[in-house]
Amino acid sequence: MDLRQFSHLAALADQRNFVRAAAAVNLSQPALSRSIQTLERDLGCTLVERSSREFRLTAQGQLVLTHARRLLAGSQALLNELEQYNGLTCGELHFGSGPYPAQVLVPEALATFISRYPAIRIRLQQADWRQLGDLLNEQQIEFLVADSRDFITDAKCQVQLLRPRHGRFFCRRDHPLASRKGLKLSALLDFPIVATRIPPRISKTLADVQGVEDFAISVECVQFDAVYRVVRRSDAIGIATMEALSDLVQQGAISLLDVIDVSADDLGLNVHYGVVSRAGHSLTPAAQAMIAALVAVDQQLQN
């Protein structure tokens, strides 16, 4: 076994096709097939179900893939730390952000970071908090910036809290509800709800108001920009942080909706940003510097 074989397996799992995977790792298709066959022989198990018409890893293949990704990530982390040992003059940083920190906090911190350390290559992955948690556990990212409520009680995670952000309902400027005062939550639910993935607490409250067992939003988007564009061109009601909405409010592009029968805290709209990393794992110098930039920008945004 060697790391190249593991990287070939990871590419095959990502591409789900031998020809595409071979191109991704700059090999011929027969060479990639031989590499996978050699790995199977060395491990004494079958990794790929070759009798299936669709690409599928065996149960053992899934297990090997999980460890392969961790080994590859560990190898990259080692190279990064060695490269950064004498200063942040080279190396890579992989981290993740939720959709709302990615609107203001993370871009501002990135601008600060790259002005100080222009040689560091950065890969930022934007996703919801559950997907980011999976990437963190798989060691695909060093840390994440997102709503930290689901991570605080997780013993596998270390959380550095940032400032809480207030969440709001909003609609387009000429929406039927835009000029109404004293709105009840049930009035909003007469319209489609558009948001990024919402926490279970919000879903439960909305389900209770509707008198149903489970609430599902009408449109779930990965990025806030998509949420805003849907709201701007329809009667949908959006959910976002006030930080993400502030410029749009000042421009007069949207209207904020005030609900009188359920507070934002009770509904769970207010989120508490945090920097989440793996407990017991050291961070590379680049990650530490990026987190310091995030903390500094977070404090500046408060003032």
The pLDDT tens digits for 137-153 are 988 899 999 999 889 99
DSSP H/E element including 97: strand 92-97
Q: Do 73 and 65 touch, CB atoms closer than 8 A?
A: no
Same fold for the pair 1-83 and 167-269: no
Q: Are 161 and 148 in contact (CB under 8 A)?
A: yes
The pLDDT assigned to 219 comes to: 93
State the DSSP string of 149-161: TTTTT-TTEEEEE
With vertex at residue 37, the alpha carbon angle to CA 35 and CA 39, rounded to the nearest 5 degrees, is 70
Q: What is the DSSP letter of 211?
A: T
Average model confidence (pLDDT) across the chain? 89
Evaluate if residue 136 carries a pLDDT over 90: yes
Q: pTM here?
A: 0.71
Q: Which CATH architecture has domain 167-269?
A: 3-Layer(aba) Sandwich (3.40)
What whole-number distance in Å separates Cα of residue 71 and Cα of residue 140? 11
The CATH number corresponding to 1-83 among 2.40.50.100, 1.10.10.10, 1.20.120.1690, 1.20.1050.10 equals 1.10.10.10
Reply yes or no on whether the pLDDT at 303 is more than 60: no
Query: Residues of the chain with pLDDT > 90: what percent?
Result: 61
Residue-range domain boundaries for the chain: 1-83, 167-269
What is the distance of C-alpha 7 from the center of its chain?
A: 23
Query: Does residue 169 carry a pLDDT above 90?
Result: yes
